[in-house]
Chain A
Amino acid sequence: MTENSTENTEWPLWEVFYQPKDGKPFEHAGSVHAADAEMALQNARDTYARRSEGIAFWVVPSDQIVASTPEDVGPFFDPANDKPYRHPQFYSVPRAVKKRK
């Protein structure tokens, strides 16, 4: 930073999520700075949906996002492979049923 640096007048940071189409899940688009939620929505629209990329927005203050850490990858997302009975492949179907399909 330099001597010209003013005090922090930066608006808070918001994360932007958009829904590309009716029925689709929301996706992260990026972030915007805005003084409040209403302005965050407007800025999100101007920044991330100029060419009808979405039909709905969520904006969330960035510091309100709680995220897992990369170190969590192993244990946190353990798919419990020791419980194969959770998957349909675990069960056998009589041959006759398959053939008739």
Chain B
Amino acid sequence: MDTQDQLKEFQQRIDNGEKIEPKDWMPERYRKQLTRIMSQHAHSEIVGMLPEGNWITRAPSLKRKLVLLAKVQDEAGHGLYLYSGTETLGVKRQELIEDYLYGNAKYSSIFNYPTLTYADICVIGWLVDGAAIVNQTMLAKSSYGPYSRANIRICKEESFHKKQGYEMLAKMADGTAEQKKMAQDAVNRWWWATLMMFGPHDTDSPNSAELIKWGVKTKTNDELRQHFVDRMVMEAEAIGIELPDPDLTYNEETGHWEFGDIPWDEFWSVVKGDGPMNRERIKARRKAYEEGEWVREAAKEYARKKRLQDEKAS
């Protein structure tokens, strides 16, 4: 059991802005919460490869194909940094992955939407990666050392993702009437789902207060969402794209853009597994994991044989 003294000392360290490292004492609940959010973050990066991977063969040019390949490879890398960080909490990666594929571990609901046209790839770069950067820049200041360091690495790469998306969307919005329509249509379909990426309102978010008290997160869902909206309004305007919200109004006093009601019913239904692509995504991940089993075993066997050979030779 965690004692009051230990908890007090721990809170003191957090309040002093110290980083917590894997071998330090931490409350059981801190460890649990971190395992939960870090592994969810890792799963999200991995599942995020699917909607984009879908378009690698159909990218409109060789350059765009190369960009998309590099981006999808980055997502895999981000997943690995995060799994590596999560393992410092004393859990096995295989357990995390099995809990994700066969248990009830969650991942970001945004990846349960389909990518219908190539414009969706542009919008994912601009909006989805844009939202991810806002979130991850905050998490790079997290109180847990390995999580903070993983996010610092991720942020360095994420800005490439966002920029390539924004650049492509700008080109499309500046193109033929048909291209412009395609770009606008994709933004219309992704806008609200992106705002949901920051999670429920602070008042409906059961874990937020605790995560902030412990410095795992340093800003609330609503604060991050507002920051994101303020930026995106400006960026959308710059390329002649409209955001699909008739209630968007600038508040002179606060200096922020006020926005309409987020369709939370849809959010909860996607979180509960009833989004347009939930079942397909998990099915694809399971297939990859199960069909890759022989590769994992073969590599192990190859390493074992090589070791025996080396021993014989010496």
Query: Which residues of chain A have a CB within 8 Å of any CB of chain B?
Result: 1-2, 4-6, 8-11, 13, 30-33, 35-36, 39, 46-47, 50-51, 67, 69-70
Contact = CB atoms under 8 A, between A and B. Distances in A.
A47 B25 CA distance: 29
Given A30-B84, A31-B84, A9 B297 contact: yes
B73 A50 contact: yes
28 contacts: A1-B95, A1-B99, A2-B98, A2-B102, A4-B102, A6-B293, A8-B92, A9-B297, A9-B300, A10-B94, A11-B296, A11-B300, A13-B87, A30-B80, A30-B81, A30-B85, A30-B146, A30-B149, A31-B87, A35-B302, A36-B306, A39-B303, A47-B77, A50-B74, A51-B156, A67-B23, A70-B21, A70-B23
B98 A35 contact: no
Contacts of B306: 36
A94 B136 CA distance: 55
B93 A33 contact: yes
Nearest to A5: B98
Interface in B1-50: 21, 23-25
B299 interface: yes
B132 interface: no
A66 B17 CA distance: 27
Contacts of A4: 98, 101-102
Contacts of B293: 6, 9
Given A4-B98, A10-B92, 8 more contacts: A1-B95, A2-B99, A2-B102, A5-B102, A9-B300, A30-B146, A35-B302, A70-B24
Contacts of A11: 296, 299-300
Given A11-B296, A11-B299, A70-B23, A32 B84 contact: yes
Interface string B72-91: 01100100110011010000
A7 to B, nearest CB: 10
Contact of A36 (B80, B99, B157, B307): B307
Interface residues of B, number: 35
A9 B307 contact: no
Contacts of A35: 299-300, 302-303
B103 interface: yes
A11, A35, A51, A70: most-surrounded residue (chain B CB, <10 A): A35
A13 to B, nearest CB: 7
Contact residues of A: prevailing secondary structure = loop
Contacts of B21: 70
Contacts of B25: 70
A13 B19 CA distance: 24
A30 B21 CA distance: 13
B150 interface: yes
Contact of A47 (B80, B95, B307): B80
A80 B23 CA distance: 25
B136 to A, nearest CB: 16
A27 B103 CA distance: 36
A46 B77 CA distance: 8
Contacts of B150: 30
Contacts of A47: 77, 80-81
A9 B303 CA distance: 13
B104 to A, nearest CB: 10
A59 to B, nearest CB: 13
Nearest to B156: A51
Nearest to B299: A35
Nearest to A62: B87
Interface string B292-314: 01001101101100110000000
A51 B157 CA distance: 9
Nearest to A33: B93
Contacts of A1: 95, 98-99
